[in-house]
Amino acid sequence: MNILCIGGGPAGLYFSLLMKKQNPAHQITIVERNRAYDTFGWGVVFSDQTLGNLVNADEQTARSILQSFNHWDDIDTHFKGQVVTSGGHGFCGIGRKRLLNILQERCEELDVKLVFETDVTDDQTLALEYDADLVIACDGLNSRVRTRYEQSYQPDIDTRKCRFVWLGTKKLFSAFTFAFEETEHGWFQAHAYQYDGDTATFIVETPEETWLKAGIDKMSQEEAIAFCENLFAKYLDGNALMSNATHLRGSANWIKFPRIICKNWVHWNQLNGKRVPVVLMGDAAHTAHFSIGSGTKLALEDAIELARSFEKHGEQGMDTVLEAYQDLRSIEVLKIQSAARNSMEWFENVQRYTAMEAPQFAYSMLTRSQRLSHENLRVRDAAYVRSFEHWIAEQAYAKAGLPVPKTKTAIPPMLTPYKLRDVALKNRIAVSPMAQYSATDGVAGDYHLVHLGSRAMGGAGLVFAEMTCVSADARITPACPGLYAPEHTQAWKRIVDFVHANTDAKIAVQLGHAGAKGSTCVAWEGTDQPLKEGNWSLVSASEQQYLPGISQVASAATVTDMRRIQNDFVQATRAAAEAGFDWLELHCAHGYLLSSFISPLTNQREDAYGGSLENRCRYPLEVFAAIRAVWPADKPISVRISAHDWVEGGITPDDAVAIAMLFKAAGADMIDCSSGQVSKQEKPVYGRMFQTPFADRIRNEAQIPTIAVGAIFEADHANSIIAAGRADLCAIARPHLADPAWTLHEAAKLGFNDMPWPRQYVAGKLQLERNLERDRQVAAASAGLTPQQVAAKLLEG
């Protein structure tokens, strides 16, 4: 093939040398606008895993790169005058200029044609000049090629919130260093790492609002560098900060990161009767925030995968090759971009976490991408994790007013106690409320006793009963439980008494009203489908039909309806207190009645209960105030909200923080952070712990405790969430359905054997020990006796 690469960065150079190795007959030309061996970067960072990929792709190039690397294992986090160090991270730094030089030299060895100082303004003209069969567009994040064919590539470019500047210094750092400094204008952070024998990269970053308040936009480049030198002086030890972008004026070298995602990576041109693909690679196709050091990694791995696709599928034609490349590579890039987005958003919102003490702040920073977990950290640096676990346990037990128990191993964060009002939970694991559709006329029966009782015995600190309805017409289905009749209270009291008598778990009730989602079949007969007969009338914030053309039409609640329903909540709350529940949760999520008032998707009212967010929250807050007034003052109330409707025009995470603050002001103790189920138009972005960022943000911005829920299915997830301060409790749903003793079993997997067991298990263990002792005594007394003599003695007792 004749291959033309537009852009002489890592992607184009590496792809070219790999393809030339694959088939020396390829005629490959790289066209670069800068001079040979020019570059305007400082250092780049790779993980040890990336180095392994390079070795497998081209050992000779990898050997040259490895010889130029500065390697380190530690990360130092400087915050509020303290330094927290964790090790085992396995990073390598190399000068960007040195990396490019190595790749250029290797291309020249392989007879790749390098053309410098040529600014490509028309890719088609150039492709015709070189009779290209394949054009690689790796012309950077401001790609002209991507812009020219944006209808094909469909790029989504999100310019982010922080300003940052790439600088260098002769101060040598022994670890990858993150330094956080507060000014009168706000927080600044530095990312610093050594990449060769005498130079380090020093990136300074801050939210644009802080950058403007500090006046950096009006400073010359020299003045801005002096500002940074003064701010981070204690880390520089008298060394200067240096810029290699002197061609830029004023503050132009402070840029905002563009997050780029392209739906398609291939555009086809028809040139002189030949179909010629133009393939995006590197920053032209996608970007990943520098805080996880993956831009160059992505570019090189793009090159490896495209070359590999030609090797595997070349005989099947160009279409097959490029389809295979995008299908496989786009998934891997999406994973990296997801982690990079989490990391980027953490640094954009450093202020959110500055109420934390240094150990937890550093842990939050280390696990910010959700790619590095508690057990990953333990593998990397067991001593660091053990020390941090002791610190977390000390904090938790002190807040609960309890002494730290002496255990053989450190206490995992998820197994530390938590106290809210006067209710103390033995650990941070909750069984999430899950509809079981097994009640008869609202009465919770033996099924619920076994279902909730077994999970209370399974080690969880708190067990939520499913949404319990405040009236017969508040039910989702005819098989939902209620708290609106005396027999309901007695049925729940039986279950609550069992939990209290046989376990040390606490039990919570979740009160709700189905609204427009009521009067439906049980799940196995058709989720959200209306009953074939016996339907009851429905109300919602505004008239709506949850399933268009299928569901019953709910009428808009009148003020009279609202007062009646509020009273139903009050009566149910009194009944819950009589039944002895330890905890109450108000269900304001998932499109049910109270949620329908909050979301603009379902509230089109024009009275005092519609319009602004404050107005839309008015009725749920009135209900909350009414139940808080009759619920025991020593017991907590949590509120479940949908923190994201996943529909344009619906509730956003910004709104969720405001909603949480309104409930906090009304006296709520905790926010249970779920999302969605308000509209069938929703498009959630699922994944591991996908709703945890909502709990994190609400907890640390609204400063109210939170429950994280959603795709949390391992102790590792829960430990990471609790340790990082992303939530105070973790609610586990489906794993607890599959395994009532999930908490005990996960603790055992961690090797933590000091878990408090349910009383029956303790009694059984004691009986087993007594039996074993009896057997030992029998064995001792039987020494030298025949089996018949032993049997005779046993019969004698």
Catalytic residue positions, numbered: 592
Greatest CA separation for the chain: 106
- Tokens linked to 190: 């530095």
Which two three-digit tokens encode residue 705? 């405790």
- The backbone torsions φ and ψ at residue 275, rounded to the nearest 5 degrees and listed phi first, read -80, 120
Q: What phi, psi does 576 have (nearest 5°)?
A: -65, -40
What is the chain's alpha carbon radius of gyration, rounded to the nearest angstrom?
Answer: 31
DSSP class per residue in 101-155 = HHHHHHHHHTT-EEE-S---S-HHHHHHHTT-SEEEE---TT-HHHHHTHHHH-E
Angle at 526 between CA 523 and CA 531, to 5 degrees: 100
In the Cβ-directed half-sphere of 749, how many Cα atoms lie within 13 Å?
10
Distance CA(65)–CA(102), nearest Å, equals 7
CA 641, CA 396: separation in Å to the nearest integer?
26
Give kind and range of the element (H or E) at residue 366: helix 358-366
Token code pair at residue 627: 């139940």
Q: Look at strands 134-137 and 155-169 and give their pairing.
A: unpaired
- State how far Cα 484 lies from the chain centre: 39
Q: In angstroms, rounded to a whole number, what is the distance separating the alpha carbons of residues 651 and 643?
A: 7
In angstroms, rounded to a whole number, what is the distance separating the alpha carbons of residues 676 and 680? 9
β-bridge partners, 270: 275
Residue 520 carries which DSSP code?
B
Show the tokens assigned to 622: 């009135």
How would you classify the pairing of strands 274-280 and 200-207? unpaired
Q: Residues with Cβ < 8 Å from 143, sequence gap 6 or more?
A: 137, 280, 283, 284
768: Cβ contacts below 8 Å, ≥ 6 apart: none
The whole-angstrom separation of Cα 277 and Cα 535 is 59
